Amino acid sequence: MFLLLCSPLGEVSHQEESALIQCSPTELSSEEQELLKRYHHSFDDQLVDLDLIMTLLHNICTTTDEGAVLIFLPGYDDIVSLRDRILFDDKRFFTHSESYQVFTLHSDMQTLDQKKAMRPAPAGVRKIVSHLFHFSLLYA
């Protein structure tokens, strides 16, 4: 299974962001840390880059044959927007809709719909699930 965590950085304080950079599992040089810091401050912290997510998703789907993709997003609107892009807007996906099952998970959904998302996908079909994510889960 592939996992994408996508959220605006505005929900993480500067101090927490610095700690995340310094606590990286791989050692980063001071130059790499500075580049990472510049990257984090080069975009609008309130927006999720759905174009980037779609590019990553397409890359995963075209370079691997198996596995579901679970995408955590910070808001319901982001979940719905991503679903609509996959199902209706992005030619790379909707022209091959038989190859994908797309599910959205949110607490407002009916239990039956949530159970459908947990069933195994048929052979040759990639399951894509987008789910609501909160930073509080990271620190629990």
pLDDT (tens digit per residue) in 108-125:
777 787 888 888 999 999
DSSP-based three-state secondary structure for 3: strand
- Domain spanning 50-137, CATH architecture: 3-Layer(aba) Sandwich (3.40)
Q: Given phi > 0 = left and psi -120 to 50 = alpha, else beta, which region is 52?
A: alpha
Q: 43 or 13, which is more confident?
A: 43
What is the domain partition of the chain in residue ranges? 50-137
- The pTM for the full model equals 0.65
- For residue 46 the two structure tokens come to 């309130």
pLDDT (tens digit per residue) in 41-91:
776 656 788 998 999 999 999 998 888 999 988 888 889 999 999 999 999
